[in-house]
Amino acid sequence: MSHTMDSATKGALPSLPVLLAATVCVYGLGLLVYRLYLHPLARYPGPKLAAVTSFYEGYFEIVLKGQYSRQISKLHDVYGPIIRVTPDELHIRDSRFFDEFYGKNLHLDKEGWDRRFGTEGGVLTTVDAGFHKRRRAALSPMFSRRSILDFIHIIYRHIDTLSVRIQEFEARKEPLNLTNAFPALTGDIIMDYFFGFNYDQLKSPEFDSFHEAFIKIGGTGHVATQFSWFLPVMNSIPDAITERLQPAAKPILKFRRDQTSLIARTLRGEELKSNDAKKTIFQEILSSKLPSSDKTQKRLEEEAQIVVGGGVETTAFALSIAAFHIINNAKIYDRLHADLVAAFPNRAVLELYPLENMPYLKACIMEAVRLSYGLSARNPRTRREALRFGEWVIPAGTCVSMSIPDLSHDEEIFPDSHSFDPDRWLTSPPPTTSDGLPLDRFMVSFGRGTRSCLGISLAWTELYLTLGMLFRRYRFELIERDVRDVQLGHDFFIPVAWEGGKGVRVWVRDSGD
């Protein structure tokens, strides 16, 4: 009898898989109800799917390859200036709110980028505002105007190397890919500035650089944002296997191996600097007043990855944009070239200060920087107190973001915003918006506030010297005139052009004067 009852009882109990499935369903249903109706952000406008799951973002970023920024812009058109873009994040599109949001005296936490890169230790990806302030203070002296001028002879050297390489392409009558050349230039410069040596990427036949690796693996950050296990798994794979599966990753993997060895040797007291710079960024960090916890092998590796990565692609993309549009518009080229000839009758001599005082060159650079965005990714901040935006009072502790491309393409501020128009910066009196605000207030490609780009002086120096050299000494003819080669096609944190492009390829001609 008891045996029969035991059998009946066992038959009536659900199996373990059924219990697990039921638990998951109940949890999922509860989470859905919470996020839609009980969450602190439940009342904010936006698509319900974005409120319920971060996989809505993941679909646009992973499946459609970096398209969520474009989708967010469309959502703003439907829902208004503030929307919920993930279960725990709001996004604001309001150009006049940008300065208030990223106030110059505000030290705010920044969540999300640490997950994307797997590096909480880099100054760019540090979450905690206090840690960031301390780490940034240690780096800031090396990015001052004075430090850049102390280093400028090395920048000149790399500019001259690029000029020699351009002459080689002219002599051989071969097409020159500027999209490949510019990251080799910026890569050699930032490596010299951080470590005191470089990989001579400018001297490699096809300008081998970090560029292709950044493009090919750029989407991995989106995967890492959605799946916290992804980067640890990827980093556990031996480099030899990764290089076989993705040959484009070789330069990045070599850099990672080299920096591990270099940092370890430097921490042991070895002198590794091989150039004649007064000081490197790495030496500045080691001699700073940072606590020992910020001078560990791991933290320094993370800082190197972030600084070198940031120093390569952003400036290179701005150079590509400037070069394409100047070459593509004969009026712009002729005017710029005439100014450069007048300022530098001897084409072999280029100096930074006169270049910086050329209004038309500066206007061309302003347009290139505006259209390059610096970063295409959402730029998040978390405040420890409530934030007021219009009629909304955003709860303390909420992750809120804005995006630089939204300002660059605000048609009320920059009419015909996708056009490369240096003249918009050359009005007298200085250009303003329709309501009288200075136009340069909305130039935010280097960010704003206490987390703005450290390398702004270095970037401007590279832009002035490189464009001055190119358009004083040479004439170019575009092989393809597809503007998509210098437009945002994919948001991989940095802007990446469309997949079908071959880059800004040109024929080289001597300027003749």
Is residue 5 in a domain?
no
**Model pLDDT, residue 218:** 76
Mean pLDDT, 10 residues at a time, the chain of 513 residues: 50 73 83 91 97 96 96 98 98 96 86 82 87 90 93 96 97 97 97 90 93 82 91 89 85 87 82 74 86 90 87 96 98 98 94 97 98 96 94 96 98 97 94 89 93 94 98 97 96 93 94 81
What is the pTM assigned to this prediction? 0.93
Residue 458 vs residues 181, 309, 312, 397: alpha-carbon distances, Å? 18, 14, 11, 34
Using a 10 angstrom Cβ sphere, with 0-12 exposed, 13-18 middle and 19 or more buried, the burial of residue 100 is: middle
What would the two tokens of residue 60 be?
A: 């646009």
Is residue 13 in a domain?
no
Is residue 107 in a domain?
yes
Question: What kind and span of H or E run contains 401?
Answer: strand 399-402
**Model pLDDT, residue 3:** 52
Is residue 80 in a domain?
yes
Which domain CATH number covers 487?
Answer: 1.10.630.10
Is residue 7 in a domain?
no
Number of domains observed in the structure of the chain: 1
Tracing tokens 């459609």 back to the chain, one arrives at 64
Give 81's contacts (C-beta < 8 A, 6+ positions apart): 92, 93, 94, 389, 390
Concatenate the DSSP letters of all residues of 165-216 into one string: HHHHHHHHT--EEHHHHHHHHHHHHHHHHHTS----GGGSTT---SHHHHHH
Count of positions (residues) in the chain:
513
Residue 258 vs residues 13, 261, 282, 301: alpha-carbon distances, Å? 59, 5, 14, 10
For residue 470, the enclosing domain spans: 39-510
Is residue 33 in a domain?
no
Is residue 23 in a domain?
no
First to last CA, the chain: 109
Residue 11 vs residues 14, 20, 196, 402: alpha-carbon distances, Å? 8, 17, 73, 57
CA-closest candidate to residue 375, choices 488, 493, 218: 493
Tracing tokens 């490699």 back to the chain, one arrives at 204
Residue 148 vs residues 7, 270, 280, 450: alpha-carbon distances, Å? 82, 25, 11, 20
What would the two tokens of residue 364 be?
A: 């061309």
Q: Which residues partner with 510 through β-bridges?
A: 474
Is residue 18 in a domain?
no
Decide the pairing of beta strands 89-92 and 399-402.
parallel
**Model pLDDT, residue 363:** 98
Using a 10 angstrom Cβ sphere, with 0-12 exposed, 13-18 middle and 19 or more buried, the burial of residue 236 is: exposed
The Cα angle at residue 36 between residues 34 and 41, in degrees rounded to 5: 90
